[in-house]
């Protein structure tokens, strides 16, 4: 099940950030108190969807994003290691992209750490391409156009 983030999800989302995202980051560390303290505030801007087994269940994965000036910016995507390979990440990305289309975004962009080859391959399978490399962040910027699905066979 995919649902909007609830404040009670924050401890699990912060744990996923700490264990699944920060270890790849060149600019943050798992015990960086400022980064960890900032997470609940960061979740409040933009939109966060979580994947759960049940309506009230704990977050197994999440995506956080914001729509700005015709661009959908994927800020974070993380899946609990025991729940990888079940389609949660792809489904969450599809929800985020649908949100972007509904909010008139033409492009979706994200950053993926140089050391996170698994994430790079995941995004490539979803149609993202690396458009530039940021040496100061040691990240690739990846992007793809958002194209509405056509319902008409003549389109």
* CATH value at residue 39: 3.40.630.30
154 in a domain, yes or no? no
What residues does 62 pair with on adjacent strands? Answer: 50, 78
Domain that holds residue 140: 2-145
Gap between the Cα atoms of 108 and 2, Å rounded: 20
150 in a domain, yes or no? no
Whether residue 65 has pLDDT greater than 60: yes
76 in a domain, yes or no? yes
68 in a domain, yes or no? yes
63 in a domain, yes or no? yes
42 in a domain, yes or no? yes
Question: Average pLDDT, whole number, for the chain?
Answer: 89
151 in a domain, yes or no? no
Q: Which residues contact 91 (CB under 8 A, 6 or more apart)?
A: 2, 51
Q: Which residue has the higher pLDDT, 149 or 117?
A: 117
**Structural domain total, the chain:** 1
- Note the pLDDT of residue 152: 45
């Amino acid at each position: 099940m995919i649902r909007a983030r609830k404040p009670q999800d924050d401890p699990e989302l912060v744990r996923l950030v700490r264990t699944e995202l920060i270890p790849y980051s060149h600019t943050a560390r798992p015990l960086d108190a400022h980064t960890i303290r900032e997470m609940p505030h960061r979740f409040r801007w933009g939109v966060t969807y979580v994947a759960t087994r049940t309506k009230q269940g704990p977050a197994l994965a999440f995506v956080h994003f914001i729509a700005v000036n015709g661009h959908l910016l994927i800020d974070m995507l993380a899946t609990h290691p025991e729940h990888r390979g079940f389609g949660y990440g792809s489904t969450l990305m599809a929800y985020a992209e649908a949100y972007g289309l509904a909010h008139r975004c033409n492009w979706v962009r994200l950053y993926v750490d140089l050391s996170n080859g698994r994430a790079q391959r995941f995004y490539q399978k979803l149609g993202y391409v690396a458009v530039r490399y940021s040496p100061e962040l040691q990240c690739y910027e990846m992007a793809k156009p958002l194209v509405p699905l056509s319902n008409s066979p003549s389109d």
